Each structure stands twice: as structure tokens, then as C-alpha cells.
Amino acid sequence: MWGMARKAQSLAGSDRKSLESIGVLFKGQDLKSLRDTKQICQKLLRSFPKLEILIENSPKPVNRWSHSRLKWMSAERIPFRTRTLVVVGGDGSILRACRLLMKTETWETCRVLGVHSGTVGFLAAMNVKEALKNLSSLLSRKNGLVEELRSCLHIKIERNSRIFRNFHVLNDCVLSKGSLSRIFEFQVEVNSEFLSSYRADGLIVSPPTGSTAYNLAAGGAIVHHDIPAVQITPICPQSLSNKPIILSDRHEISLRLGRHSSDVYLTMDGQKGLRMGDRDVVHITKSEKSIRFLNLGSRELKHYFESLRHKLNWGLLPRGRP
């Protein structure tokens, strides 16, 4: 299955090239992210005498620091020169890094390790404090990190009977109104079979990784990333009986616009938007591309549950414990 974790391996052992260079992406306009990134880079350079760090250019040259094994370059070039990306920031920064990989064939060779330094951290494997304490040993120790393959969606937009744009998303694609918040009409088909028509503020289609994003705020279910599924979640439907539905990711989902559907946009991973035409059709299938996340092998499930508890303010302690 796409979501299953691969057998743990040492990046310094069986995969020497990964530790010869590491790419680092961060939120350059954020001073906290900049400080956290600098500390992590300095720790890695001290721990690995031959390591070269390829770091994303800071928008302000004054914020860059120098080291003989630190190379500043554009974010687009980094995935071609390394097999490990450390992303310092929140989920938005990690999604941006994943978008870079899916634009090219580097999604097949590059792994993503998220270090939480932002507001939301569902996709990160560790926070900055944990990274400074454990990252060097995890990268060099066998069984320190495991790969998780996260499934993505392939979005194809049909216009005038031909596919004119396509995208790959890890989080979600959202059909919604533009500047004015008004309901509009659309219908959903699954494998060319009519599912339902909707009058709503919009619709979210997400793979498991995106289930804790906009989907969750709209009343969708949380789906663990090991489950090969796709979720369809209406946004504020006029009919209270229109509920989210979870399907196998083997199916093709099609979205067709109906009446009052002017000024409608399709947004991919919250980072790329496209204005829809009245007769456009959106086709959604499981992508052949996937993202390889690095996570803590010994505590992957524990980390997942901890993230849910702390981010969603669930009960923080088991019953019977002080």
C-alpha cells in the first residue's frame, strides 16, 4: 500500500549519497524559521564533517550566513542535487516543498523530513527542539528513520473536450466561489456514475494526508495515511443530508459545474488556483506520484496520535493518570 512505511534504514549506511548532501528549505521571510534553520544547519555541519548543505536562498541576502560546506541556491535546484530534504516550518512550507518535487521527477528520489517551526505541524516528524537534540543521530543510525509513502491525487481539468491543465496534490483540491461567498451548483460522478448534485459553498476532495486540513474544518473524517482512500466533503451544503463520503482511491471522481457557477475557482493544496469555465469538468484520480516522508520509526503511530491530541485539543492524558 502507498501509505505503508518502508523498512528502516540508515541514511549514512546503505544510502551514502543521502548524507553527502542534504537540502534545507525554510520560510525565508519568517525570522523564527530563519533562526531555527541556522541552528539546525550548524548542528548538522558539526556532526558530519563531509556533509554539504544545499540551502534555499533567503529573500534578504543580509540574513544569509557563510560556511565552506553551505551552498545557497534557488529552491527549485535543490531536489536535483540531494536525496534528502529537511523542511523547517509549518505544513504550508512542507506542502510547498512537496509541490517542488511533484513538478519534476525528483519525487521518485527525494525524501522529505519536516521539522515543525510554524503554526500547524501535522506533517512534521519532529519539532525544532527534538531536531537539535536527535536529528544528527537519527540520520546516521540504522533504524533511526523510516520512509512513509503518502498517496497524492492527480487533477485534470477538461475544457472543450480536451485536457488543458493538470496538477498533483498531496493535501486537497477545493472547488469554491471567488470574491463573493455565495452557494453554487455542481454535481459529482464516480466512475461516470452519478453520485449527487449539490448546492453548497464548495467541495473538498482529499487523500488521507489532507484529511486533517480544510477537510476536517468542513466536518470531514480523519483518515490515517495508511488507508488507500479519497474523501469527498461538501462545504456548507444547503441540504443537511449531504454528508462527506470516503471512497477507495481506485475510483475516478468527476466534478461538473451547474447553475450560478460563475466566478468559481479550483485551488490545489492551498497554493495554486485556477478559475473555472462554465462547462469545465474536473477529473480526479489517484496520482502515480507519491511523497516519501521520513519519520521516526520507533514512534510513528505515537507521533500521529500526539499530533491529533495536541492540535485538536483532545483529552491529553489517559484516564486514571494524574
Grid cell of 100 as nine digits? 517542488
What does the H/E/C string look like for the chain? CCCCECCCECCCCCCHHHHHEEEEEECCCCHHHHHHHHHHHHHHHHHCCCCEEEEECCCCHHHCCCCCCEEEECCCCHHHCCCEEEEEECHHHHHHHHHHHHHCHHHHCCEEEEEECCCCCCCCCEEHHHHHHHHHHHHHCCCCEEEEEEEEEEEEEEECCEEEEEEEECCCEEEEECCCCCCEEEEEEECCEEEEEEEECEEEEECHHHHHCHHHHCCCCCCCCCCCEEEEEEECCCCCCCCCEEEECCCCEEEEECCCCCCEEEEECCCEEEECCCCCEEEEEEEEEEEEEEEEHHHHHHHHHHHHHHHHCCCCCCCCCC
d(CA 109, CA 104): 11
Closest by CA to 80, choosing from 118, 45, 107, is 107
Which one from 91, 201, 226, 249 is the annotated catalytic residue? 91
Locus of grid cell 551514502 = 16
Residues linked to residue 193 through DSSP beta bridges, in sequence order: 190
Closest by CA to 283, choosing from 224, 222, 205, 216, is 205
Closest by CA to 157, choosing from 167, 145, 169, 165, is 165
- Asked if 280 is an active-site residue, the reply is no
Residues annotated catalytic, as ranges: 91
